[in-house]
Amino acid sequence: MPHALHDQLAGALGIAKDEIHVVTPQVGGGFGGKAGLMAEHVVISALTKRFARPVVWVPPRSDDMKSLLHSRGQIQYAELGCDADGRFTNLRVRIVNDAGAYPNIGAHLPGLSRNMAQGTYAIPELEFDIAVAVTNTTPMGAYRGAGRPEATALIERLTDQAALELGIDPLEIRRRNFLGEDVFPFKTIAGPTYDTGRYAVALERAAEVADYHSLRAEQAERRARGDEMLLGIGVASYVEVTSGRGGTEFGAVEVHDDGSATMFAGTLSHGQGHQTAYAMLVSDQTGIPVDRITLVDGDTDRVRTGGGTGGSRSLQLAGSAVHGATEVMVDKAKQLAARFLEADVADIVVDRASGTIGVAGVPAQAITWGDLAGRAAAEGEQLNGELDFVQESGTFPFGTHIAVVEVDSGTGKVTLLRHIAVDDCGTVLNPLIVEGQQHGGIAAGVGQALFEEVLFDEDGNPVTSNLAEYAIVSAAELPSFEVVSTETPTPLNPLGAKGIGEAATIGATPAVQNAVIDAVAHLGVRHIDLPCTPERVWTTIEHARSGTLPDPWIEPPDIFARNRAEVDAEQPETAPDDVAI
């Protein structure tokens, strides 16, 4: 978000914005940790001004791991009401959220969890309480999903637990409670309005790819044999929001006299494939080859404005802006061509196959884009177009993930055997880019489910400050993912696009966690906290075998007691055929 950094830095230093030039190079993945102003930016900029010379700051990895924003710091207390048929009646949630020291966006993340708490389901009633704690640990921030993974983990763990308690298959309990396709746009009980959704379609496609019933048969056979290697199948259906409440983004296109084109966008590409995706949009309208179209971003002097990249907003906002800017440029090109060819504007057409523009039915007189740009330049004009695209609200991608794990009951080790992801990000512009985002997202989600955990000792010192101590997933722990896309376009932008950068992470983590718990559920296990490390899984298995499993209900801290008593006093008594999960 270079433009945001530009403005924040000007404010922090107390200098005019035109004295600051932000250029963002290729930075690799960000996932939230590199957004906005940090203390180090202010210090090195102030030193640069004071000593009138370049100042460089190079943090070692261990410093980044200790001080860059952490995330997922929630403790969730949740109750899901169901009737005897497994249909959801109400949801009650209480969250304690660690904001860390110097709280900023980390203090707001549970609000995003609240907004998405309903998930993909028809839930008539919701009670959601939040307590945010300021602590002496690393500040919390937005990491890939930012509040939505927490919400999905919440409702999908409850859904699987309800299925276990009621003896209903995890697929079937979801089918019974999904919002139907005919309700969209749908205003949720928490406030947001889902644009489009076909939740059952994603579920059935995932079950088909996984061959779900065969997996259940194999699981039953292993249990009957008393196998030490236990099979677990985990399901997670999710809906998330991308581009938040909507927003605006800048896009521009210039055509040059050599026939090439330059695009300008207010987002920043750091691995998402913006160069390819945006160039496809320009090429589709002009016929200019994709490899002759260049993207400029991350430069506050060359790009007028920009909201940056975050919340999976890029294609739907900047892509739509570049698409619209190309339309503006093409309209201008038709006006110029009509003048140069002495023809009516209505008769001017673009031949995308040949990359020319001319009079319909007279291909011999067609002008190349380079020639047209050159003629325009000779008359003091530029062949360009720009647009600020505005989207009124966020879009809501969705999907279903199915994870298949093997749990060694003797050691607690979890091995991911398969991961099936059906993600719907609206219109798919470039399938290869979408698949790449799915693969990366799943890997991140699996890492959270099985490995990643920030720990402190009794004195508050971080003990996971490098990659020797902090477990991170590698290719060695991952199978080849099975990814599929369904397409349910949104009406909120001309591309029909929703975000994909965070979706797979949101679906993957609860799918894997549910799979681990499913593997040992026949022993009486109902929950295992994240991450599902071998020690944690083995300890749970041993408690189950010895009959010493802890009570699954943990009373929330006293900070919620008063509010809960007030709410309970206003609620009718629970019907006799209802159960609380």
Judged against a pLDDT cut of 60, whether residue 36 lies above it is answered with yes
Give kind and range of the element (H or E) at residue 135.
Answer: none
Any domain includes 188: no
What is the spatial distance between Cα 515 and Cα 512, in angstroms, rounded to a whole number?
Answer: 5
Does 308 share its domain with 441?
no
Any domain includes 193: no
Residue 575 banded pLDDT, cuts 50, 70, 90: very low
Bond prior to 185 in cis (omega within 30° of 0): yes
Does 83 share its domain with 172?
yes
Residue 459 has a pLDDT of: 83
Enter the tokens of residue 254. Answer: 């210039």
* Lowest mean pLDDT, pick from 70-84, 130-144, 353-367, 546-560: 546-560
pLDDT digits (tens, 9 = 90+) for 165-220: 999 999 999 999 999 999 999 999 999 999 999 999 999 999 999 999 999 999 99
pLDDT digits (tens, 9 = 90+) for 460-485: 888 998 888 999 999 999 999 999 99
CATH number reported for the structural domain that contains residue 406 in this entry: 3.30.365.10
Any domain includes 289: yes
Residue 580 banded pLDDT, cuts 50, 70, 90: very low
What is the spatial distance between Cα 94 and Cα 87, in angstroms, rounded to a whole number?
Answer: 22
Any domain includes 192: no
Bridge partners (DSSP) of residue 385 are 253
SS3 401: strand
Bond prior to 531 in cis (omega within 30° of 0): yes
Does 569 share its domain with 505?
no
Does 59 share its domain with 158?
no
Closest listed residue to residue 178, CA positions, set 160, 212, 157, 201: 201
Tokens 């999960």 correspond to what residue?
581
What is the spatial distance between Cα 531 and Cα 510, in angstroms, rounded to a whole number?
Answer: 11
What is the spatial distance between Cα 573 and Cα 140, in angstroms, rounded to a whole number?
Answer: 39
- Whether the Cβ atoms of residue 394 and residue 243 lie closer than 8 Å to each other: yes
Its domain, for residue 177, covers 69-183+551-581
Judged against a pLDDT cut of 90, whether residue 31 lies above it is answered with no
Does 161 share its domain with 203?
no
Does 95 share its domain with 118?
yes
| Residues in CB range of 459: below 8 A, 6 or more apart | none
| Residues in CB range of 55: below 8 A, 6 or more apart | 44, 47, 48
Max CA pair span of the chain: 91
Tokens 């199948």 correspond to what residue?
233
Residue 563 has a pLDDT of: 60
| Residues in CB range of 109: below 8 A, 6 or more apart | 71, 74, 97, 140, 142, 146, 147, 150
- Whether the Cβ atoms of residue 280 and residue 427 lie closer than 8 Å to each other: no
- Whether the Cβ atoms of residue 422 and residue 206 lie closer than 8 Å to each other: yes
Any domain includes 97: yes
pLDDT, average across residues 153-164: 97
SS3 447: helix
Judged against a pLDDT cut of 80, whether residue 19 lies above it is answered with yes
Judged against a pLDDT cut of 50, whether residue 229 lies above it is answered with yes
Does 261 share its domain with 385?
yes
Residue 444 has a pLDDT of: 95
Judged against a pLDDT cut of 70, whether residue 577 lies above it is answered with no
Residue 317 banded pLDDT, cuts 50, 70, 90: very high
Does 442 share its domain with 560?
no
Bond prior to 556 in cis (omega within 30° of 0): no
Count of domains for the chain: 4
Portion of the chain with pLDDT greater than 70, in percent: 96
pLDDT digits (tens, 9 = 90+) for 104-121: 888 999 999 999 999 999
Residue 564 has a pLDDT of: 60
Enter the tokens of residue 211. Answer: 């061959």
What is the spatial distance between Cα 379 and Cα 355, in angstroms, rounded to a whole number?
Answer: 22
DSSP states along 174-213: HHHHBPPGGG-SEE-TTS-EE----HHHHHHHHHHHHTHH
Residue 432 has a pLDDT of: 96
Does 260 share its domain with 290?
yes
Judged against a pLDDT cut of 80, whether residue 512 lies above it is answered with yes
pLDDT digits (tens, 9 = 90+) for 239-277: 999 998 899 999 999 999 999 999 999 999 988 999 999
Which pTM was predicted? 0.93
Does 59 share its domain with 79?
no
Euclidean distance between the first and final Cα of the chain, in Å? 42
Judged against a pLDDT cut of 70, whether residue 327 lies above it is answered with yes
pLDDT, average across residues 426-432: 96
Residue 176 has a pLDDT of: 98
Enter the tokens of residue 101. Answer: 């020291």
Does 254 share its domain with 386?
yes
Does 430 share its domain with 523?
yes
Any domain includes 532: yes
Bridge partners (DSSP) of residue 353 are none
Give the start-end residues of each E strand in 83-163. 88-98, 126-133
Mean residue pLDDT of the chain comes to: 93
Enter the tokens of residue 43. Answer: 């210090």
SS3 440: helix
pLDDT digits (tens, 9 = 90+) for 373-411: 999 999 999 999 999 999 999 999 999 999 999 999 999
